[in-house]
Structure 1
Amino acid sequence: MPFALLLLGLAVFAQGTSEFMLSGLVPDIARDLGVSVPAAGALTSAFAAGMVVGAPLVAALARRWPRRGALLAFLGVFLTVHVVGALTGSFVVLLATRVVGAFANAGFLAVALVAAVGMVPADAKGRATSMLLGGVTLACVAGVPAGAVLGELWGWRTAFWAVALVSVPALVAVARSVPGGRAEGTPPALGGELRSLRSPGLLVTLLLGALVNGATFCTFTYLAPLVTEVTGLDSGWVPGVLALFGAGSFAGVTAAGRFADRHPVPVLAGGGVAVCVGWCVLALGAGHPVLALGLVFAQGALSFGVGSTLISQVLYAAPAAPTLAGGFATAALNVGAALGPWAGGTAIGAGLGYRSPVWVSAGLVVLAGAVAGVAWWGRRGVGREVVRG
């Protein structure tokens, strides 16, 4: 794998840290800026919404830009808004920086996905995708806990400064290492790219990505109350449990990258069944600490392994819309990241307890399996487009 892929992963690490770090900073932000905790929590929703809306829009805007220039522009905007966010005393300005930062993050990831697969042979998209998404999983392992510690010790603004500082070497690295030209050939017309995205197989793959990612973040969002209220562990275990899930995620995308290109059907079918069974076992056995901790790692690995494979299949299914496919894949993942926590929170709010998000995760994976089954048996060629071979 090209070294430039690792550098792109560093930038994705910084952006992933920014996306998820507010979970531990919301109370401090609310006190400092004089707003309610729910209002401060809207900062996370604003980022997710910006990712969903921004990914396809910004990808369309940047489709004819040189890839290095586009990556530098998006990363530069991302860095700048974090500096502004660290300095501002206005909640409205901070909210605006989260939306703009999400647009920049979405644009960067969409272009980076295309740049990554353009650096490798045509049959290695899965490995390239897994290496890039390793930055997101490392953000869960190290970035988010580190942001929470910085916020606890020196205030929430320190976490914003840290993200900006990590973005600086990534900016330099992209400028020096990522190829500067456009993709070979003339990009297809925007209308042609959009028409190619109507492929039933591609739409099914995007839906599956949203459902699987929704299942992942449904449980991940509520791991803290699950391990303290159900498993019975002390709150001091929470950062370690979150890091354990992140470590599993990194292992999952790494392993999937070795098999997703040549054996996508076994990875998706076998992994899908395994992840569903895992959520069910976790829901039933969450009261047993050793079992619960083992399953946290395993579910992180299985969920991100299947999820990263689905992303690579989006890129395989849309060769005529390379940049927009990356944008829509990014949007689908963030639809799931918004859907899952909402569904899990609704279950908890209905009085179903802290195991209920895990059952919701299992249900979302079952729904994904049903969608895949209907598409496969629909005899409309969807099966051949969802997975190669």
Structure 2
Amino acid sequence: MPFAVYALGLAVFAQGTSEFMLSGLVSDIAADLHVSIPAAGLLTSAFAVGMIAGAPLMALFSRSWPRRRALLFFLCVFGAVHVVGALTPHYGVLLATRVVGALANAGFWAVALVTAVSLVGPGARARATAVVVGGVTVACVVGVPAGAVLGGHLGWRSAFWAVALVCVPAAVVIARTIPGGRTRSATASAGTELRALTGPRLLLTLLTSALVQGATFCAFSYVEPLATRVTGLGQGWVPVLLALFGLGSFIGVTITGRVVDARPVALTAGGLALLAVGWTVFALTAGSPVATVLLVLVQGMLAFGTGTALMSWVFRLAADAPTLSGSFATSAFNVGAALGPWLGGLAIDAGFGFRSPLWVSALLMVLALGTGWAVLGTRPATERSPDGVPAAR
């Protein structure tokens, strides 16, 4: 595996850490910037909004950009906005940096996956993709808890400085190892790919993915106040819970990646049902430390495992859009990441307490069960995977 692929994974690690780390810092940010906890939670939504708009737009732009220049541009912008975020005393400026950082993140993703598979032979493309995507799950396991620890000891701004610092070695290695070729590898035109992404079953799959991630981020964004104010755990438990959620996500992605092609319907349907049950049980038992610790791990595994399965459905249904299908899947993921914290914040502001985001998550999963079954129950036998092999039932 070329070292450059691991450099891309390191950059994705920094970006994934930034996207998720605020879940352990919302109280400190709210107190320092004199805003409410739901307002601090919207910083996660702002990042997601930038990803929603940026993923398809940057994917279109990246079809003709030189790879190395595009990667360095996006990564340097991403690092720079974190420096600004670490320095600003204004909530509005911090909010703006989250949107700009997300646009840069979306642009980097649009180029990085294409670059990674171009650096290896056909037999190693799945592994190269796994290294890049694995940066996100490693961020959940290591980066997000580390950010919470830094924030607890040195203030929330130190976590932003750390993200900017990690971008530096990644940028150096990318500058030295990534060839300067162009990203375009697909023969289909942008118009052809966009038309392939308008099918009703594909749109239902994207909606299901958004609902699943909305449920995930609704609960995950407020795990710190939930743990400390409902469950009764000390602040020192917050990094542990974040690490457990990340470990669960890593397990879920790993297992799903190995079995989803053989049992796509059973895995996806089972994941949707278990997530709905899991968030309901979590809402009922959030006052128990044992239940909270266990369910954080289990729900992380189910959420990211089911999310990965749904992404595989997007690629199956959009085989004629090899360049843009991933960006639409990313946008759906981040629609949920924006919707979830906002809905959770509304529930908290309405006076329902810090347990209420869990109930909102359960409701979102009930909706996801409906849209998901509409997709799974009508799957045609002739459906193909992106490589042209008939998909398994």
Q: Which TM-score applies when normalising by structure 2?
A: 0.84
**Equivalent residue for 2:139?**
139
| Alignment check: 8 A CA contact 1:130 1:253 kept | no
Which residue identity lines up with residue 271 of structure 2 in the other structure? Answer: G
SS in 1 for 2:391: coil
Q: Which TM-score applies when normalising by structure 1?
A: 0.85
**Equivalent residue for 1:102?**
102
Which residue identity lines up with residue 15 of structure 1 in the other structure? Answer: Q
Distance 2:265 2:179 in 1: 32
> Offset of 1:338 from its aligned partner?
1.3
Which residue identity lines up with residue 234 of structure 1 in the other structure? Answer: G
Distance 1:119 1:373 in 2: 38
- Per-residue Cα deviation, 1:261-309 (whole angstroms, up to 9, x for no partner): 3432232122222222222332333333323312211111111111122
Q: Does 1:358 align with 2:358?
A: yes
| Alignment check: 8 A CA contact 2:23 2:223 kept | no
Q: Does 1:388 align with 2:391?
A: yes
**Equivalent residue for 2:189?**
189
Structure 1 segment 44-63 matched on structure 2, within 5 A:
44-63=44-63
The range that moved more, 177-186 or 130-139, is 177-186
The range that moved more, 349-358 or 271-280, is 349-358
Distance 2:182 2:347 in 1: 47
| Alignment check: 8 A CA contact 1:128 1:257 kept | no
**Equivalent residue for 2:278?**
278
Structure 1 segment 288-327 matched on structure 2, within 5 A:
288-327=288-327
**Equivalent residue for 2:171?**
171
Distance 2:267 2:75 in 1: 33
Structure 1 segment 319-338 matched on structure 2, within 5 A:
319-338=319-338
> Offset of 1:22 from its aligned partner?
3.6
Distance change (3 Å), C-alpha of 1:108 and 1:8:
same
| Alignment check: 8 A CA contact 1:129 1:308 kept | no
SS in 2 for 1:198: coil
Which residue identity lines up with residue 300 of structure 2 in the other structure? Answer: G
Which residue identity lines up with residue 283 of structure 1 in the other structure? Answer: A
Unaligned runs of 5+ in 2: none
**Percent same amino acid at aligned positions?**
61
Which residue identity lines up with residue 365 of structure 1 in the other structure? Answer: M
Structure 1 segment 1-389 matched on structure 2, within 5 A:
4-25=4-25, 36-37=35-36, 43-87=43-87, 93-116=93-116, 131-178=131-178, 180-182=180-182, 187-377=187-377, 381=380, 384=383, 388-389=391-392
Q: CA RMSD in A?
A: 3.3
SS in 2 for 1:323: coil
Unaligned runs of 5+ in 1: none
Which residue identity lines up with residue 164 of structure 2 in the other structure? Answer: A
Distance 1:42 1:212 in 2: 18
The range that moved more, 166-175 or 9-18, is 166-175
| Alignment check: 8 A CA contact 2:66 2:180 kept | yes
Distance 2:216 2:27 in 1: 25
Which residue identity lines up with residue 248 of structure 1 in the other structure? Answer: G
> Offset of 1:36 from its aligned partner?
4.0
> Offset of 1:198 from its aligned partner?
0.9
